[in-house]
Amino acid sequence: MFITIASFLVVTGIVAYISWRKTKGDDLSTSKGYFLAGRGLSGLVIGCSMVLTSLSTEQLIGVNAVSYKGNFSIIAWTVQSVIPLCFLALYLLPKYIKNGYTTIPEFFENRFDRQTRLIMSALFLVFYLFIVIPTALYTGAIAFNKIFNLETVFGITYGQSIVYTVVAIGIVGAIYAIFGGLKAVAVSDTLNAVILVIGALLVPIFALAHLGDGSISEGLKVITTTHVEKFNAIGNATDAVPWPAMFTGILIVNFFYWTTNQAIVQRALGARDLKSGQKGILLAALFLLTLPVILNLPGLLSFHILGDGLNPIDTSYPALVNKVLPTFLQGFFIAALFGAILSTFNSFLNSAATIYCKDLLPSISKKQRTEQELIAHAKKVSTIMAILTMIIGPLLMFGTDGIFLLTKRFAGFVNIPIVALFAVGLFNKTVSGLAARIALLLHVILYFSIVWVFQVKVNFVYVMAALFVFDVIVMLVLGQFLKREPYQESKENKEGVDLTYWEHARVTVASLVLGLISLHAFLSPIGLASPDGQPGLILGIYAVLQVIVLFVFRMKKTAM
């Protein structure tokens, strides 16, 4: 135990020290410096920070838990995000940067009106403070409790260990977010991303060796010859994600998370130029294609090593870590996990403070504040928000369906109407703010009624998809009667940021989409998920098609 704790403290301390050294001379006295890192982030920092912000213990524990219980169909929530990320890089980011947005709700005011911006800002805060941040704290506490055996070490109950750990994580994360601003968050994310990749890869490597009695190849042979149906990413009606859901509710939610979610997009808004932003976004998309190795494979290995009797299923991942990792590596791994927890916590906390100060505060208080006063106010608000999420986090232990799906179900109140309003605002020029707000109200009433009051026996992702269509139709119909003057987007580059496209953006997008399709074929009955599958043939076809894509784009570039 001493070695585990010591290695954890050493790695965590190194990250904190480097982050402090990299940011100690930064100007945090202005909004641009505090909220957007002075618009000076590189592509590498943006990509690493986006990935680590999204890759919280909710995914590491929750997604692996679903894979432990079922199959790989749950990857739809993660790898499919490649599509919205490509859309963000090619289409939305140039608009965001050109208009000089600090927050996404600014778009809603430009397109609709001030009231719609305020409502959208409030929805973002509800989503962050009651769903995302408490979930990151709670799942982090689960991992710490299981790996360090806090109940036994300190002689306390499970509930007490969760509460104490949530508070400890919350305090450390709040220090990063409150005193360092976005730059400190992004720099620490980059360091923690490297550590997390190494640490998370150690788990399946040691688990395969454990399963194969010291041989990784024997472990691979076991999982590819027994219970191969668990590799299947094409879910049926009884799986966590039925295959039609990949093209309906989940796709819509992923568009929300990766293209309109303040905590994610804020990193790209802080890019030094458009090229850097596009590189960072597409780097994040590339990393997402590799996530099944650390988000699903350990769940499958837990099934093979620990059996199918774990309860609750959310303990399967930390139990596997405790089982297969040597003591000296457990500290390194928990430091990596701690970095992921901190990243999600402090990133969303920073974004919540940004939205409050830039979107809500001017309407709540008419007082004119200097830049320094605004930053001071942001720090006070962040402190209050941090305390609130530390109170809510432990309450999630009373959920029964697995933390990942539980939070996704609650998120349907927020993410679907936001992306519906965003889509209508983007592709329609005359629907008014009043029409948008009426559709939002109807969505909340219907979603609550269908999922909780009447408890309709339909997968909630289908409900999300249906309500997205409903929201859009309501806005378009009401928009025939509640019109505004046609919206004209500004042509002005408001921040003077270099808007030159990255020359390799389109070929990278094509390669990523091909990789996404090939991955689903590989993890299906025609690939790994059946004794009769041909995974080698699929990999060969993918390689040939990838060469063709590169050749076609090279020829087009030469012809220009």
Percentages helix, strand, coil for the chain (3-state, rounded to 5) are 75, 0, 20
Average pLDDT over residues 216-224: 92
Between CA 259 and CA 8 the distance in angstroms is 34
Residue 469: inside a domain = no
| DSSP, res 557 | H
pLDDT for residue 355: 86
For residue 491, the tally of other CB atoms under 10 A from its CB is 6
pLDDT for residue 170: 86
Residues 387 and 512 in one domain: no
Across 80-94, 279-293, 418-432, 454-468, least confident range: 454-468
pLDDT over 60 (residue 61): yes
Between CA 342 and CA 53 the distance in angstroms is 9
Between CA 125 and CA 103 the distance in angstroms is 12
> What domain range includes position 505?
499-560
Residues 399 and 542 in one domain: no
Between CA 192 and CA 48 the distance in angstroms is 9
When pLDDT is cut at 50, 70 and 90, the band that residue 277 belongs to is very high
Does this model's pTM top 0.95? My answer is: no
pLDDT over 90 (residue 346): no
Residues 26 and 139 in one domain: yes
Which residue has better confidence, 494 or 460?
460
Average pLDDT over residues 26-45: 63
Average pLDDT over residues 29-46: 66
pLDDT for residue 206: 94
Q: How far is CA 215 from CA 228, 302, 414, in A?
A: 19, 17, 47
Radius of gyration of the chain (CA): 23
When pLDDT is cut at 50, 70 and 90, the band that residue 468 belongs to is very high
Residues 29 and 143 in one domain: yes
For residue 249, the tally of other CB atoms under 10 A from its CB is 26
Residues 164 and 266 in one domain: yes
What percent of the chain is modeled with pLDDT above 90? 29
Dihedral (CA of 143, 144, 148, 153) sign: negative
pLDDT for residue 184: 63
Q: Comparing C-alpha atoms, which of 187, 259, 192, 198 is closest to residue 42?
A: 187
pLDDT for residue 234: 92
Residues 144 and 34 in one domain: yes
Average pLDDT over residues 407-425: 85
Residue 557: inside a domain = yes
Which residue has better confidence, 147 or 92?
92
Across 329-343, 438-452, 535-549, least confident range: 329-343
Site of tokens 């600090």: 102
* Geometric angle at alpha carbon 281, from 128 and 546, rounded to 5°: 135
| DSSP, res 450 | I
Please write the tens of the pLDDT for every residue from 160-195: 888 998 998 888 877 766 765 555 666 666 777 778
Residues 507 and 405 in one domain: no
Across 88-102, 267-281, 323-337, least confident range: 323-337
Please write the tens of the pLDDT for every residue from 5-14: 676 677 777 7
* Chain center to CA of 69: 22
pLDDT over 60 (residue 30): no
Residues 405 and 550 in one domain: no
* Geometric angle at alpha carbon 115, from 109 and 121, rounded to 5°: 75
Between CA 64 and CA 332 the distance in angstroms is 20
Spatial CB neighbours of 155, under 8 Å, sequence gap ≥ 6:
none
Q: What is the CATH number of the domain that holds 370?
A: 1.20.1730.10
Spatial CB neighbours of 123, under 8 Å, sequence gap ≥ 6:
414, 417, 418
Residue 450: inside a domain = no
Specify whether the CB–CB gap between 23 and 184 falls below 8 A. yes
Specify whether the CB–CB gap between 261 and 344 falls below 8 A. no
Residues 239 and 356 in one domain: yes
When pLDDT is cut at 50, 70 and 90, the band that residue 136 belongs to is confident
pLDDT for residue 135: 83
pLDDT for residue 478: 94
Residues 513 and 400 in one domain: no
Report the number of secondary-structure helices (H) and strands (E) in the chain. 27, 0
Q: Which amino acid is at 231?
A: F
Residue 376: inside a domain = yes
Residues 9 and 121 in one domain: yes
When pLDDT is cut at 50, 70 and 90, the band that residue 84 belongs to is very high
Between CA 103 and CA 350 the distance in angstroms is 12
Characterize 163-181 residue by residue with b for buried, 16 or more Cβ atoms within 10 angstroms of its Cβ, and e for exposed: bbbbbebbeebbebbbebb
Between CA 498 and CA 402 the distance in angstroms is 45
Q: Comparing C-alpha atoms, which of 40, 26, 102 is closest to residue 273?
A: 40
Residue 465: inside a domain = no
- Most confident of the following: 217-221, 337-341, 350-354, 451-455: 217-221
pLDDT for residue 285: 94
Residue 339: inside a domain = yes
* Geometric angle at alpha carbon 56, from 14 and 209, rounded to 5°: 80
Specify whether the CB–CB gap between 475 and 431 falls below 8 A. yes
Q: Which of 410, 430, 451 is the last residue of a domain?
A: 410
Please write the tens of the pLDDT for every residue from 374-403: 777 778 888 888 899 999 888 887 765 556
Which residue has better confidence, 196 or 547?
547
pLDDT over 60 (residue 39): yes
Q: Report the mean per-residue pLDDT for the chain.
A: 84
When pLDDT is cut at 50, 70 and 90, the band that residue 321 belongs to is confident
Specify whether the CB–CB gap between 523 and 292 falls below 8 A. yes
pLDDT for residue 432: 92
Specify whether the CB–CB gap between 257 and 264 falls below 8 A. yes
Between CA 10 and CA 234 the distance in angstroms is 42
Burial (CB count within 10 angstroms: exposed 0-12, middle 13-18, buried 19+), residue 545 = middle
Spatial CB neighbours of 171, under 8 Å, sequence gap ≥ 6:
386
Burial (CB count within 10 angstroms: exposed 0-12, middle 13-18, buried 19+), residue 526 = middle
Residue 449's SS3 state is: helix
Residues 7 and 156 in one domain: yes
Q: Which long-range contacts (CB under 8 A, 24 or more apart) does 485-489 make?
A: 485/430, 486/429, 486/430, 487/110, 487/111, 487/425, 487/429, 487/430, 488/429, 489/95, 489/99, 489/110
Between CA 391 and CA 348 the distance in angstroms is 16
When pLDDT is cut at 50, 70 and 90, the band that residue 474 belongs to is very high
Q: Which of 367, 389, 410 is the last residue of a domain?
A: 410
Please write the tens of the pLDDT for every residue from 501-531: 998 999 999 999 999 999 999 999 999 988 8
Dihedral (CA of 301, 302, 308, 313) sign: negative
When pLDDT is cut at 50, 70 and 90, the band that residue 348 belongs to is confident
What percent of the chain is modeled with pLDDT above 70? 89
Q: Which of 410, 426, 443 is the last residue of a domain?
A: 410
Between CA 493 and CA 101 the distance in angstroms is 11
Q: How many domains does the chain have?
A: 2
pLDDT for residue 25: 57
* Geometric angle at alpha carbon 282, from 279 and 286, rounded to 5°: 130
Across 104-108, 271-275, 309-313, 479-483, least confident range: 309-313
pLDDT over 90 (residue 87): yes
Residue 431: inside a domain = no
When pLDDT is cut at 50, 70 and 90, the band that residue 546 belongs to is very high
Cα end-to-end distance, the chain, whole Å:
63
Between CA 3 and CA 339 the distance in angstroms is 19
When pLDDT is cut at 50, 70 and 90, the band that residue 128 belongs to is confident
Q: Read off the tokens for 212.
A: 């194969």
When pLDDT is cut at 50, 70 and 90, the band that residue 298 belongs to is very high
Between CA 288 and CA 79 the distance in angstroms is 5
Residue 437: inside a domain = no
Between CA 121 and CA 131 the distance in angstroms is 15
